[in-house]
């Protein structure tokens, strides 16, 4: 019996069964890499939290609003990061940058991080407002175990 069934031969790109060889592709070279992660929107974490915290309909709507706001702020922070990198590259193309010019370009990154910090703090306060004590304890447990992140 071979190590890898023939029905999965398409994954290696040829008809030979090379999966038993030492030249096997690593996980990062396969098509399954980067298909999981934290950037899957609001619906999946909302379902997860609604199930684990046993949220009612009103709490679920409020949690959806909070998660949507956080998702938007994170996307904006990523966009600001890309803009900052582009601005730094163009600054280097122009010649030797001064410290003041570099600080001016990097100010957008700091402002974005501050805005994300404020939105995360607001989200934490909003979540603690509508959760009861048992739900709050379960949410704390999910935060501490790393199942959920803000």
Average pLDDT over residues 41-48: 75
Spatial CA neighbour of 149 closest among 61, 76, 40: 40
Using the predicted structure, report yes or no on whether residue 65 has a pLDDT greater than 80.
Answer: yes
> Among 99, 86, 121, which residue's Cα sits nearest to residue 113?
121
Q: What is the pLDDT of residue 24?
A: 59
| Percentage of residues of the chain with pLDDT beyond 70 | 71
Does 103 score more than 50 pLDDT? yes
CA angle 150, 123, 69 (to 5 degrees): 85
Mean pLDDT check: name the lowest of 3-7, 62-66, 114-118.
Answer: 3-7
Position 150 scores a pLDDT of 81
Domain ranges of the chain: 43-145
**In the predicted model, is pLDDT for residue 125 greater than 60?**
yes
d(CA 46, CA 50) in angstroms, rounded, equals 6
CB 46 within 8 A of CB 68: no
Would you say residue 100 has pLDDT above 90?
yes
């Amino acid at each position: 019996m071979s190590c890898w069934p023939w029905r999965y031969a398409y994954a290696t790109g040829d008809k030979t069964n090379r999966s038993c060889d030492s030249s096997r592709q690593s996980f990062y070279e396969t098509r399954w890499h980067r298909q999981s992660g934290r950037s899957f929107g609001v619906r999946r974490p909302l379902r997860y939290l609604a199930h684990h915290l046993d949220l009612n309909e009103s709490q679920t709507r409020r949690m959806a609003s909070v998660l949507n706001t956080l998702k938007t702020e994170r996307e904006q922070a990523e966009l600001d990061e890309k803009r900052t990198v582009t601005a730094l590259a163009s600054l280097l193309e122009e010649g030797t940058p001064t410290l003041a010019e570099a600080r001016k370009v990097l100010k957008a990154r700091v402002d974005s991080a501050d805005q994300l910090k404020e939105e995360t703090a607001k989200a934490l306060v909003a979540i603690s407002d509508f959760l009861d004590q048992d739900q709050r304890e379960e949410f704390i447990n999910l935060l501490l175990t790393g199942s959920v992140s803000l």
